[in-house]
Amino acid sequence: MPNDVTRTTLQDMTHIPPPTEELRLLDWELRQLDTRRAQLLARRAWLVATLHPVRPQPAAPPRAEAAAPRVQNVLLLLGGILLTLAATAFTLVSWRHLGVSGRALVLGAVTAAVLAAPAVLLKRGLRSTAESVAGLGLALTVLDAYALHDVAFAGADGLRFAAASAAVLAGVWAAYGFLPRLREMRLPLPAALAAAQLPLLLWAVAVDAGGYTITAALLATAGFDTVVALRATARSVRLVAVGGAYGLGGWGVLTAGWLSLTATGPSAAARAAALLLLAAALALGAAWQTPGEKHASGLAVATGLLVVAALGGALRPVLPDMWTVPVHLACGIALLAAAGVSRLPEAVRRGIARASAAVQALAVLWALPVVAVALLGPASLAGHVWSGSPGSARDAVTVELSWPPDAATASVVLAAVAGVLALTVRESTWRPRALDASLILAWAGVLVLPATLELPYTATLLIQGIVTATLLLLRRTTATVLALLTSLSLAFLALASEPATLATLASLTVLFAVGVRRPLPAAASLTYATALAVAVGAALDLRPEHTALCVLVVTAAAALLAVYVEEKTTTAVEVTGTVTGLVAVGLAMGEPPMLALVLALGGVIAAGTAIRPDRRAAGYVAAALFVLATWVRLESWDVATPEAYTLPVTVPALIVGALRRQRAPQTSSWTAYAPGLAATLVPSLVAVWAGQHGPRPLLLGAAALLIILLGARHHLQAPLLLGGSVLVLDTLHELAPYLVEMTTALPRWVPPALAGLLLLALGATYERRIRDVRRVREVLGRMN
């Protein structure tokens, strides 16, 4: 190395990149290595697949869709069916080609052989085959009976022979199933029980028995099935017995019920009642012996309902129609005594109690239409205000509705059920609900009583007023709701007469005012006070706009009352007062000056409410009402200048914005000042551009300039932008004629030339930016 080469020169010749550049280079090298590794792994996978090809796996054997026992049973069933069809065809078609001895020999031999075969098959362990052959043998016995009728009893009645044959076959099949070697089979005994369903029914039809005898036959057969279902141990026998008991028993109950309903005399009703009591006895016996609690309770319910239907149906022909429901209800209530018998199982007692409850519920449902007419009928008087007092309570509630027939005992039904609920339900969990339901039913009974007895109109008003006062004294939620419903019915009922309307509304206002510390009574009192104000105005022949001032008195009273009640009541009072104020506004809509006064008074009430610390938001409502009052007044004076409508909004809005920025300096000028400024600037600018000249453009420009200066002085964005935008648009409007004249004075080539210059300037700017981007890209490339 030359001696004149210094250490400083060597350091300059060595290129050591900065850390950032070195890190970028390392990352790039690592990415290259990852890419190369992925290529090598792909090549290795291809080589492995080429050297060691994957051998296909042998296909799995198909899964058997039917198990061997199932296939066996299907084959045996099909074989038995085919043999049965062949035997039937032989009996019906080929029978006549043989003599009497041949017929007896063939049928006897085939039947005996088939019935004897199951014993041999069971001994060899072929149980399913034995069942199929036994079924074929049972079918052959049916064909034997048919052949016997065709040969020996051709002249006998078909239904009677069928009844006798069914009885004999049932006995034969039962005896066959009880044979020592054949007790293992499941088919003979259920088949015998199925055949036993027919003898009594077929016999009753064959002898032309009446409906009562046929029904008795059905119930007797159902009783036999019930005994078998309770005593049998084989599941197949129990299933057939249960199906027969429910099927024939239900058929018999429906028939007995129809006979009871259509009975025209005591004798027929008594026979139908006896059938229903027989069905009830069967159901009770089954419920007593059934081990399952749910099943036993359901049967006990059926027992109770059947007893009520039987006793009520027996008394129905000898009593007036209006007592039909009360008699059934009395029978249902009497069931509660049976439900208290300690000897009965708990499930049975519970079911009987539920049956009693069901009867009472049905009785109440029967009375509901009467209650609906008594409660909603007075609403029809809204279309006949002060038309004259009706003759009776029923005339008042049936102006547009009809009174239900045979409803004279509705009050008795409701009172009876109310008493039962109040006296019998003692459990602590259900006691409050039962008392509420009892109160509702008692109220409904009293409500329908005047119309039921056709009491005088005045007496009806007094009764409903007393009911309302009594319910309010109870101070319970349910009672308060019922009091409100009664008062509504009373208010509508009083619309028939002017004195009654005024007296009733005044009384209701005072009654509900007693409980004014609760939400519902307070709102109701204010509502009736509003209605009273309207009624007084109508009685004094005041115009609606003058009546609106009377209604505003109620609104003011609501605002004062809201100060002295609890928070939960305050909301109800204020909402009612607001609705009352809207009513006043609606009444004054026909007279703009009076409407402006009503709005202004509403603003005063809202402003008074805003004094309370927790109701500051009412101040906005007051401001809106004052502005609306001003607008209505200006409209009534035919003022068309928009600033007269907008300045009353702008000035308070700007004051509120300034106060807000004083309390919270971080508040944006757009929040504080933009709404107030836009309320006047935008309508004025629209008026200017709409073609209005004169001093408005100059005044608008001066106002916009002042707003710009104030915004610049206080560094506020909203005044600067809003004022500047309005000033520019206002100036364009003023200069528009001159710009049009200047445009028409220019040569025609000037606009295209200006457009071309603009496009050239944009293109040059775009090209310069592209050049800068390329330069940056080249610098970055050199850095790599």
**pLDDT at residue 728, as a whole number:** 84
Separation of alpha carbons 124 and 122, rounded Å: 5
Q: 259 with 271: CB under 8 angstroms?
A: yes
The DSSP annotation for 493-506 comes to: HGGGSHHHHHHHHH
Query: Can you read off the two tokens belonging to residue 288?
Result: 């007593």
Instruction: Answer for the pair 399, 380: CB distance below 8 angstroms, yes or no.
Output: yes
Q: Which residues contact 308 (CB under 8 A, 6 or more apart)?
A: 328, 331, 332, 335, 355, 359
With 0-12 / 13-18 / 19 or more C-beta atoms within 10 angstroms meaning exposed / middle / buried, residue 17 is: exposed
Contacts of residue 669, defined as CB under 8 A and 6 or more positions apart, other chains included, come to 661, 711, 716, 717, 718, 719
- Distance, CA of 356 to CA of 377 (rounded, Å): 32
Phi, psi of 310 (to 5 degrees): -70, -50
> Token pair of 273, please?
């009642």
User: CA–CA separation, 261 vs 316, rounded Å?
Assistant: 9
179 DSSP 8-state letter: S
Comparing C-alpha atoms, which of 462, 257, 226, 485 is closest to residue 375? 485
Give the whole-angstrom CA distance, residue 520 versus residue 483: 10
Q: How far is CA 255 from the centre of its chain?
A: 38
* Beta carbons of 360 and 417 less than 8 angstroms apart: yes
8 A C-beta contact, residue 308 and residue 335: yes
Note whether 419 and 329 are within 8 A (CB).
no
What radius of gyration, in Å, describes the C-alpha atoms of the chain?
A: 50
CA atoms within 13 A on the CB side of 464: 33
Tokens of 378: 């007075």
Which residue, 646, 732, 647, 650, is CA-closest to 689? 732
If you ran DSSP here, which 8-state letter would residue 404 be given?
P
pLDDT attached to residue 388: 87
Check: CB of residue 483 under 8 Å from CB of residue 468: yes
Helix (H, G, I), strand (E, B) or coil at 561: helix
**Per-residue confidence (pLDDT) for residue 245, from 0 to 100:** 92
d(CA 676, CA 710): 15
Answer yes or no: are the C-beta atoms of 177 and 131 closer than 8 Å.
Answer: no
Which amino acid, one-letter code, is at 778?
E
Helices 127-151, 68-89: axis angle to 10 degrees equals: 10
As to burial, measured by CB atoms within 10 angstroms (0-12 exposed, 13-18 middle, 19+ buried), residue 779 is exposed
Over the chain (784 residues), what is each successive 10-residue block's mean pLDDT?
Answer: 47 63 80 84 82 56 46 47 52 52 60 71 68 72 72 71 86 80 75 88 86 92 91 86 92 92 89 93 89 84 93 89 92 88 85 92 94 92 88 90 90 94 86 92 94 92 94 90 94 93 94 89 94 93 91 92 86 92 91 88 87 81 83 77 79 82 83 82 81 74 85 83 84 72 62 68 71 77 63
Quickly tell me which residue has 């007269």 as its tokens: 644
